[in-house]
Structure 1
Amino acid sequence: MGIQIIGTKKCRETQKTERYFKERGWPYHFVDLNQRSLSSGELAAIVTAIGAEELIDTESKVYKRKGMAYMEFDPVEEIEENPALMKTPVVRDGRKAVLGYNPDEWKEVHGLSK
């Protein structure tokens, strides 16, 4: 399995991440959360690497519209139901994952160079 960039085409940080990979010729597969949800296995691997609480985007429209700041909820269940709640981008390679635009961490975790 190769590196996946998980996000949406409209997310500026995801666009920046894709551009960074393209400029360096690093191979990747883009997963658009507007086109398909993550499988339970994919999400479980990301949660293990990053943490469920870290994945929730407290600035998202969905989070605010649902009033989630005042609710108790299972982050994994909520992301499965509504992928728009997940912070993006996530750069994933198997069981390793990095949240956000973070080139230094990508290089370290995924063994990328250039």
Structure 2
Amino acid sequence: MIQIFGTNKSFDTKAAQRFFKERRIDFQFVDLKEKEMSPGEFDSVVSALARETGSRADAIDLLIDNKAKDYASIAYLDDSEKESKLFENQVKLMKQPVCRNGKTAATVGLQQKVWENW
């Protein structure tokens, strides 16, 4: 089952939902304003991205929205602190949408080429 994490205000999140709807692929939308990722979900997303990027630190950097208003609050932290700061402030700091296919695959932002292979 594919999960889409994002907010209803995010145009990219809406585009991701439309992508899967048009292909009649079942997905679960999780509005981060109502229910943020659990520690387990967050860890599985970071782990899946780390397999692609090579490290957890790179995966966290990929998840951080550098256009967010609160970006300065995380930009200059050590890598060890960034992960907990991002987890605590998912709505304000995370790039959207975050799509997860099971526990092994995840994407950040619009990644239609990757989704087509799912």
Q: 2:8 maps to which residue?
A: 9
Q: 2:83 maps to which residue?
A: 76
Report the secondary structure of 1:62's partner residue.
coil
Identity %: 38
How many angstroms apart in 2 are the aligned matches of 1:107 and 1:20?
9
Cα deviation for residue 20 of structure 1 reads: 1.3
Match of 2:114 among 82, 105, 108: 105
Q: 2:97 maps to which residue?
A: 89
TM-score normalised by L of structure 1: 0.84
Residue identity in the other structure for 1:69? A
How many angstroms apart in 2 are the aligned matches of 1:76 and 1:34?
19
Cα deviation for residue 69 of structure 1 reads: 2.9
How many angstroms apart in 2 are the aligned matches of 1:28 and 1:12?
17
How many angstroms apart in 2 are the aligned matches of 1:40 and 1:23?
31
Return 5+ residue gaps in structure 1 as ranges: none
Match of 1:52 among 57, 60, 70: 60
When the two chains are superposed, the root-mean-square deviation of aligned CA atoms in Å is 1.4
Cα deviation for residue 93 of structure 1 reads: 1.5
Report the secondary structure of 1:6's partner residue.
strand
1:49-80 superposed Cα distances (whole Å, 9 cap, x missing partner): 1211211111111214x3x3344352220122
Report the secondary structure of 1:54's partner residue.
helix
- The farther-off stretch of 87-96 and 8-17 is 87-96
Residue identity in the other structure for 1:78? K
Residue identity in the other structure for 2:75? A
Return 5+ residue gaps in structure 2 as ranges: 50-58
TM-score normalised by L of structure 2: 0.81
Report the secondary structure of 1:61's partner residue.
coil
